[in-house]
Amino acid sequence: MPDPFRTVVQRCGLCEVEGDQLELLAGVPMCAVCRTGEVDDALARHALSCTVKELHPTRATLWRTVEVVRPTILDLAVKCGPDTPRGWLRRRLGQGDPEVGDPGFDDRVKVEPADDSFTELALRVLRSPGVPQAVLAVIDCGGSVELVGRTVWVRAERSGDFGHIPELATLKLLAVALAIAVERFAREPSR
Ligand SMILES: [Zn+2]
């Protein structure tokens, strides 16, 4: 009798290798190689380029940024960051930022299109398969997301020597998973 609690996943969501050692991250099954941050195969397979930067703008501040460039352009400019009590209140008063329509997402993520002309497409991208999970995973580990044209940025900042900042390898995996999901949306003929 099959074990109903066993998750059967067949292929790594990044590099697409088949395997039974896959574990879920941000809802994406990932192989042991990709989980270490070695995602060159995944980048090649999806025609993505990835740049990782770590900066110390001041002695006590650390910035980590992952930039992933996808092949297919979208006329899009939107930031997604952690929600604030003020943002939450503004939305309750009907003056706030656009909402995806899923409370599990909207209560935790502030969606800021660069201007109103990007709102409709931004919401469609943020509702498409795999995208909300990856965005939420970035926000939950302390980062933020920006989607502009062909580029996906995932950023995190630490202020002070003991503040929390997600590992660069984690940010990179989440950025690549997000870029793959956004690229899938961009290539959808019916979008
Ligand atoms: Zn993999």
Angstrom distances, CA of residue 5 to CA of 2, 8, 10, 83, 130: 9, 9, 16, 33, 22
How many angstroms separate the alpha carbon of residue 29 from the centre of ligand 1?
A: 8
pLDDT of the residue at 72: 97
Q: Give pLDDT tens digits along the chain (191 positions).
A: 556 555 555 899 999 999 878 999 888 999 999 998 899 999 999 999 999 999 998 888 999 999 999 999 999 999 999 987 777 777 777 777 888 999 899 989 999 999 999 999 999 999 999 999 999 999 999 999 999 999 999 999 998 877 889 999 999 999 999 999 999 999 998 77
Cα–Cα distance for residue pair 68/161, rounded to 1 Å: 28
How many angstroms separate the alpha carbon of residue 22 from the centre of ligand 1?
A: 8
The closest alpha carbon to 64, from 179, 163, 154, 164, belongs to: 154
Cα–Cα distance for residue pair 105/91, rounded to 1 Å: 13
Domain positions in the chain: 37-187
How many angstroms separate the alpha carbon of residue 186 from the centre of ligand 1?
A: 22
| Three-state secondary structure call for residue 70 | coil
Cα–Cα distance for residue pair 68/152, rounded to 1 Å: 5
The closest alpha carbon to 50, from 188, 177, 185, 136, belongs to: 177
pLDDT of the residue at 48: 98
List the alpha helices (DSSP H) in the chain.
Answer: 32-35, 40-45, 85-92, 103-106, 119-126, 131-140, 168-187
Helices 119-126 and 131-140 cross at an angle (nearest 10°) of: 90
Name the β-bridge partners of 30.
Answer: 23
How many angstroms separate the alpha carbon of residue 32 from the centre of ligand 1?
A: 7
How many angstroms separate the alpha carbon of residue 15 from the centre of ligand 1?
A: 4
How many angstroms separate the alpha carbon of residue 53 from the centre of ligand 1?
A: 22
How many angstroms separate the alpha carbon of residue 72 from the centre of ligand 1?
A: 22
